[in-house]
Chains A and B, each alone.
Chain A
Amino acid sequence: MTLRLDARIPPGSLAEKWNRHRFEMKLVNPANKRRHTIIVVGSGLAGGAAAATMSELGYNVKCFCFQDSPRRAHSIAAQGGINAAKNYQNDGDSIYRLFYDTIKGGDFRSREGNVYRLAELSVNIIDQCVAQGVPFAREYGGLLSNRSFGGAQVSRTFYARGQTGQQLLLGAYQALECQIARGGVTMYPRTEMLDLVVIDGKARGIVVRNLVTGAIESHAADAVVLATGGYSNLFFLSTNAQGCNATAIWRAYKRGAAFANPCFTQIHPTCIPVSGEHQSKLTLMSESLRNDGRVWVSKKPGDKRDPRQIPENERDYFLERKYPSFGNLAPRDIASRAVKEVCDEGRGVGESGLGVYLDFADAIKRLGIDVIRERYGNLFEMYQRITDENPYEVPMRIYPAVHYTMGGLWVDYNLMSNIEGLHVTGEANFSDHGANRLGASALMQGLADGYFIIPNTIGDYLASSKPQKVDTTHAAFKAAEDEVEERTKRFLSIKGKRTVASFHRELGQILWHNCGMSRNEAGLRTALRKIPELREEFWRNVNVPGSDVELNQALEKAGRVADFFELGELMCLDALHRTESCGGHFREESQTPDGEALRDDENFAYVAAWQFAGEGKIPVLNKEPLVFENVKLSQRSYK
């Protein structure tokens, strides 16, 4: 029962595709739009922008988020910036260059058609955001300012201090609130989607839990859009917010939506290291620090000396040693792996031994403390607030952390999954970043999906599928509600001995060690054995206090962790089957003689789309071949 996965990429040259597609898509008569209800789950960049824009077009929109306000979606935390091929700097940028950089950065595991459209729309995003009042950085003459980012050779990143995500999200949030006031959007904050309802093969609604009262409720619609973000929290420790979860996409998977490339996760090299068992999250330190900081550890394992007492010749500047031409600026995946390696050798620093130095002493000597303060002052301050160490005097300690998930629900060019009417946008889908995402391109994708793509493609779906009227009295809603209810009760009735967090932490450890920065067959098999064991214990021995008719944060967490167990297993299965290395997925068995990732284009130039086959059954692997008509596949090298 394999699926027919048709990406529905429009014909024609890259530059023609989207334009032509927009013309060929069917339109919904303006007077009929308000008769269509669309559910948007998520209020981040991808969801907030979509909900506001579809309401502007006249649709009746219902938008959901689990936080107390749509403004708090995790998009708010993005720091660095957003890419756009404006070529305002006249430095040779173009839509084609942004397209090419993104395809190559993704290690040739994404679709040309989707990525080209993303690059095309990037310019409209900046225009839209400026019109809304997003305070992007400016030059003295009043024009927009840019910076370089993520290894690109052109300067195309727009930013609002270190709070780009916040300002972009507030722009979308304000547009959304404007539509809520107009009555076009009904907002459901503190509400969590717990199931998808599929009727006659079409997505027709969702079942949610009101997180304040505990009430289980159904909502029906003509189409459903999931914009629920990424699943990095699978690993327990990540740079994501505490509430980030995979429940919405996982429930959809179990209702038949294919899950694509779950093993493609991104690990960011420069985060503040773990300080102890109690740690609940990891904080990202901007990658820009590696422009001036030098990464090193002692040559001796277990060296507990004050770093300032370790003489030069007893230090190992391992990135400079291993990658002489890129040095400390080696790309994210490469740098992360190198850090892990020296820590595994027992040469890591800090109390836990999981960290390396990022040292500014030389830069301060060379440039003076004022220049360093001007460049990185706010980051140094944040670092000091968290660690209580002064990075002007003592080297910073950094360690890689899980940051982003390229995998997600499979979607076609219209951002529709293989379930008709179920659309997926933003980090929750898999479409544009292949096996590795470039910096400043997730914000771009979320907004392209939300402002410009889904509002168009959803009209085509509604106009061509003409959904029949369905309401929440339909038996399918009742059945889904019962299942949700039953599951909720089950968590509360176990009354075991371990907290949800203790299971989550243990799952995170299994995944981090076996399906993290580097992966091998033995480790993945170990994980695939341990996860089901732990999951079995979870369902027998978890302790979820309180009741289901009130605000119950332990219950919320239990549901999310239960889904993490299952997705974690799928992630390992995917990682096991993909015996090549590509992007963030490094299989130790597949490396070049000098230890670099070795792709296997002959056997793995495809999207792995997994399909649920029933509880306890091995999911079915479907392959969407990736066709490259415009770019030539090449091996990345950073020596």
Chain B
Amino acid sequence: MNLTLHVWRQAGPKAPGKMVVYQATDISPDMSFLEMLDVVNERLTERGEVPIAFDHDCREGICGMCSLMINGVAHGPMKGTATCQLHMRSFKDGDTVYIEPWRARAFPVIKDLTVDRSALDRIIQAGGFITAPTGGAQDANTILVPKESVESAMDAAACIGCGACVAACPNASASLFTAAKVTHLGLLPQGQPERYRRALEMVDQMDLENFGSCTLHGECQEACPKEISMDTITRMNRDFIRGRLIGTRA
């Protein structure tokens, strides 16, 4: 199949960017979207041009490194699927495809389609953990966790930290990402001691990082490759308010 690509090219963080048109010819429908870009890049290289920079690593939907707004949709048209698992058979011969980076104030562009998502790491630093230094743990089976709790915790823990929720949100809020971690840890007995402090600190950090606030549009849930539920946001808000009320911060 043959496609016309409009790709965001930007030489560096400070350089101006623009959409550039490329023809992607002889593309097999069995290629993944990123393999299609590999082919385009190979041909650019052979012509002596600079290939398109984009982030990726595992190519199996788990590392969270890949991104891309595809025709205005984070991770493209297939629901519950990261860009690296999207295949060209989701497109038609002759299609025009617009490819852009995540756009959010908190995610500055590094080059072309790669952005800096380190703000997400700093949200985790603020409290997205259970303090349990190595060595002090008791036997694992002395902590009983109801199956239902662990299943719900796992649903939230499946977040791959890709940032699609931010890119999809009209306010560029990182609420779904943050809420997924608050929910994962807050549902487990081990996570109780730091539960309210965690919600407070993480939400505050999210604000500091220039993410917008959540007005419950629901675009995040639609874009999320792991289909994390917005219910997690309700839960985070509850923990946050409770934290404020009981003044848990030291």
Contacts and interface: CB of A to CB of B under 8 A. Distances in A.
Contacts of A86: 140-141
A545 B147 contact: no
Interface string A539-571: 000010110001101100000000000000000
A130 B46 contact: no
Interface string A136-172: 1111111110000000000000001101001100100
B134 A56 contact: yes
Interface centre among B44, B48, B184 (most CB of A within 10 A): B184
A136 B150 contact: yes
Nearest to A455: B134
A493 interface: no
A71 B162 CA distance: 11
A68 B65 contact: yes
A158 B5 CA distance: 45
A482 B108 CA distance: 32
Nearest to A52: B134
Interface size class on chain A is: 35 or more
Given A142-B145, A181-B126, A279-B35, A385 B60 contact: no
B11 interface: yes
Interface string A157-193: 0001101001100100111011011000001010000
Contact of B63 (A74, A177, A451): A74
Contact of B154 (A71, A135, A452, A497): A135
Given A163-B62, A550-B11, A71 B131 contact: no
Contact of A551 (B44, B53, B58, B144): B53
Contact of B30 (A242, A275, A451): A275
A497 B47 CA distance: 9
Contact of B132 (A128, A144, A546): A128
Interface in B1-16: 11-12
Interface centre among B32, B85, B129 (most CB of A within 10 A): B129
Contact of B157 (A74, A137, A167, A243): A167
Contacts of A280: 32, 34-35, 38, 59
Interface string B31-62: 11011101100101110111101011111101
Contact of B184 (A135, A175, A281): A135
B188 interface: yes
B111 interface: yes
A117 B55 CA distance: 39
Contacts of A166: 62, 158, 160
B161 interface: yes
A280 B87 CA distance: 13
Given A69-B118, A283-B60, A174 B140 contact: no
B121 A77 contact: no
Nearest to B45: A499
Contacts of B139: 127
A551 B114 contact: yes
Contacts of B39: 278
B212 interface: no
Contacts of B229: none
A86 B116 CA distance: 42
Nearest to A242: B57
A161 B85 CA distance: 19
A132 interface: yes
A437 to B, nearest CB: 20
A628 interface: no
Interface string A254-297: 00000000000000000000011011110100000000000000
B2 to A, nearest CB: 15
Contacts of B53: 551, 553
A395 B55 CA distance: 34
A88 interface: yes
A126 B147 contact: no
Interface string B58-80: 11101111000000000000000
A560 B60 CA distance: 21
B200 to A, nearest CB: 15
A394 interface: no
A133 B190 contact: yes
A131 B12 contact: no
Nearest to B128: A174
B125 interface: yes
A212 interface: yes
Nearest to B115: A68
Contact of A174 (B31, B32, B45, B130): B130
Contacts of A247: none
Contacts of A136: 140, 150
A67 interface: yes
Given A77-B63, A130-B143, A174-B124, A545 B129 contact: no
B51 A545 contact: yes
Given A163-B62, A388-B89, A177 B121 contact: yes
Given A69-B117, A242-B56, A276-B31, A177 B154 contact: no
A77 B60 contact: yes
Given A77-B63, A388-B87, A545-B50, A278 B28 contact: yes
A76 interface: yes
Contacts of A133: 130, 132, 153, 184-185, 188, 190-191
A545 B45 contact: yes
B137 interface: yes
Nearest to A387: B30
A127 B31 contact: no
A135 B150 contact: yes
A70 B118 CA distance: 10
A241 interface: yes
Contacts of B161: 69, 71-72
B90 to A, nearest CB: 10
17 contacts: A67-B63, A69-B120, A71-B121, A72-B63, A72-B65, A86-B141, A127-B137, A131-B130, A137-B150, A142-B147, A280-B32, A387-B30, A388-B29, A501-B38, A545-B49, A550-B12, A551-B111
Given A56-B133, A128-B137, A550-B11, 11 more contacts: A68-B117, A69-B120, A133-B130, A135-B157, A141-B144, A173-B124, A181-B126, A241-B57, A280-B35, A545-B45, A550-B12
Interface of A: 49, 52-53, 56, 67-72, 74, 76-77, 86, 88, 124, 126-133, 135-144, 160-161, 163, 166-167, 170, 173-175, 177-178, 180-181, 187, 189, 212, 241-243, 275-276, 278-281, 283, 385-388, 451-452, 455, 497, 499, 501-502, 543, 545-546, 550-551, 553-554
